[in-house]
Structure 1
């Protein structure tokens, strides 16, 4: 859809005259015709773009920018006043309700709040929420409009307006307002109104240790907005989370271990919440455990003062010094302190002995939703996700000898950095953490959301892996499976209405349309460092979530990581989903890695016998493939029953249209790692299969040996036939077993089941038995003729 059409269909009718006049600006880019159009020449050449045309166009752009900026500023101030008025009204109604509850003797006072009073407050708050959403959408559409018209101008004329007008946009930054504080306040107010002044309270981690859950599906539409510190006004930096990931830049062992999810793979990072002035830094170690070990992947961490981080990582500050104050204050038991000291020693030893240095920083703003006193459902939305290089390997000094670089803070989009130092993730990351009983389905709204057009499932997505791979293209050659998809548009046709709706009024379906070109569990500090506060906002959770999503200037879609786990595991999305099986459907993307091509190129570079052997192997493989294709085309094979592509919207729970197979190719010189679950039972299964074939081969060999005892020509021919079948089965099963073990060991995503072996064995046995019968009847016939 063209942006002009998208703008016309998405704008709010009451605000029509305050949007950018996109069509008029497009017309302003057209100069007059050199000659009048005629029937023979309906489109004569236009006059060249002159300085007067440029001045006229820039003046018109300035007027449009001033119009949009003024309206956005006025509406934003209006929202502030309306929210303050709503706070006052809610406080008065709640105070009256509390006074009535305290005065038990007066059962029906005149000023008792009625149910109608609360319903009116709900409608007012719903209207304010819709206005927040509309203003955010207004901002997004207009910002996109200015960017597109500038791009069109620079493309059609010889004048470059983008760098000049960027300064004007910075002078009137209507697109930079952050409405997070609005969302948080409205969440709290709506909670008070919906619960009639009695909001749910409790520790946000409660319920984590429960074994039996009583689920009420509708309850999970009441998710709260979590505020890190309820004692102060919410600020933009309160939602900022930054992490520094460490690794060895020569071996990339932590990157490789985390990518392959090998048993015991570790990740070491330093994390802080808020701005660069935060004094508390958390040193964390995440350890991956395979399911078959019976252990769970865990994240353990200690807190340090920012001034002590460099000394601790360099070994100049001992572990005893780190916990000296904690031991002196006596807030933790000696056992707890001993465990923390052991963790600190292990992290410090690993960093020093393995020469780990800062390599990648991740930054994002996180909005979290969770019921107070109940950790069974937790949703986090990470926006403005950005990865930044921290290493000094290319001769440039970034972090230097410090544990992090200091030339940036939380000033997204980090425009001061060169392009090779920053990776701005184009999507938001939506994570839903559920705790359900075995076999229990997630709530219906979760299933609807994951199946909608708003999200694209990316199991095992990792910020560390993605950022490190993108920022080190010349040094990282093993890529995560989702990397080739980054150039593919994940937007899908709209399937369900998820948009904000005012009371008694509907708007468009989605907050972000398809605007084509014109051509982890919530990580929180320990309870003593960060306080949780929430509000129970019923169906308006969707409204608040939509408002928060629409704040971005990007055309955001969400990627979702859905994890079902138990509450004792404080992990991010890349950890929790590591324990889940990868569900591969028929339309799951297929990935090809140029392993053989890379090996051949390497052999060609080395030369000599290495190249000769690789060349012979390559030609044999090509010949074998062609021969196999010929045999497959000749052999009669069952064909799939053709199905109509127009299957309707509800067949099998799928939408209409053909199922498409998506195939992605690794870039040249790179390999794609597809996650494969490998447990000890997989090796045992391969071994049992080989032993079964071996047993069958021995039985056939025994039959052949028994036939030899008869001594006649028929028995000899049958023995030879059974012996050949036994030897073929033996060598085939041995080769298949060795191939499977090699692929399992290397965690390769290949087809492990045997499609042709059993069929070939049956054919061989049929031939062997047929030979016995043919020889027997042939000899009997010859004997009859002689007589």
Structure 2
């Protein structure tokens, strides 16, 4: 089994000469992390592994830079280097596409143009692979640092990676140009990707079912999309804005489907039964796109193989869930429908109102939001009228409100969902050759697959021991095998990882969300989500703070190095205050076995170390004075009372010396580890004042008695 570092070395040396020297220096990053965490002292310089500066009694921690800042410098430099290369490569591909389009319009030889088009397509998929592998390299390096240092920094830095030029590559723009050139070549009679052919026959039952669903491994998505763009064009169903043209910068809208069901999951069970009987059952889900004022209600009646889509205002959804007919039905000309519309035009107002009445009669107010799926949707159509719905970057979540901002649980789905719709009456002899792409080994036919059934199965049926969909076990068993062999040399990387959670309680914390942090470059974050993450970090950095308190705190410093390095996905465990005996004995409070989370950065400067030493010297000075006074009283007076006071002062001096040494070491250890704790001493000053006051009171009382 090949490790990730060895895989990168293989890519850097043999696979892609154009990427040679540009890959992330993963092994060097690992060595640097070993030095910063103190695990590799043999290969480190004295300055790197020495955490102490000279002192007459105790060496203090290195005040120059904390390990996180030093690691950030290295990672930022590496990220900048790779980002510049990606920008250069992206500009080169755009230049090749522009030059190719000019040559196509100039009627150059078609065979040569097709060859150049395929080369540019390979460049696009290779660049995507390069970006994914480097992203994985940063994630693995940070994971190693977290494991060694016991501190959470991945979410903080990976947010910076997601915003960097490395992840800002506009692949949709390149694919748009690529598809336009391919369309011109097809009109001229050329046949790009002439080696793509299909061997499908009527046995696959395409003409009878008219719709088939396929699951494509996410690691092969870009290569599939590039080839598919050579045969199809984007389909525009919405009428509010035109379809994206070549070179368009507008990103694909993020679509969210909210899946509804009854408390006893009747809709879910009926859907599974209908897959076996081949007779559709009644079901409904809602599509929304943030920020958007339009929602799309997708309804399928019992026995009806065709779904009906009805557009309503977002504020009417709550009315519909209460069993009331929405007051207004919109049409395809409404603003903002692109993010919620499907492959078929929505129903007109008259039919839409009728369908909403049927929905209220069928379900009443029994439906409630159970799960959600977010994805990026592309709708393509070829010359034969076949429509392909390409849903990628799919992640599922558990919700309780249809418009809730963040799901309580998130699960990345490591497959692209491809829905192929055949027009009625299309004969087998007219099937296009691009269907051969569906015969690739990375594409699996999953008839009956439903994102709604899968989401409810994952977050509800699994914990309640209900019947699972027929595809569920195969999907996650295959994925688990891939996880066990993660270090093999793939053609393209797979960022998502999900392990089966069979037998776990539905509401219990789980590790499925661990893959979400490393997918920021695929899913992105909305400005609202980024602000929420920043506010949460600031609130948790406060002692006793809570995410609710964060609403009162500005997020101007979010994303900077000065921001607290937090996981961001869950509140940090509350740290209990030290009691009197714990502080006196230097015992740490441990309230949980969870991995410790840094709540704030403790800055250690030279003056901090020197002030600790000066404080220690002042305590020694006071103890010396008290001891001298005690010795003096023991030897210059023959009275027993004076001898008693002298002995008490000497004992107090001895205690103060021992206590000052303890406090000095306790503070030095805290500064060395940069612990977020209380550094004040509540015991030493009290003992000092009590000793002096006691001696004075005793002396005054003795003088009054002898007067």
Q: TM-score, normalised by structure 1?
A: 0.45
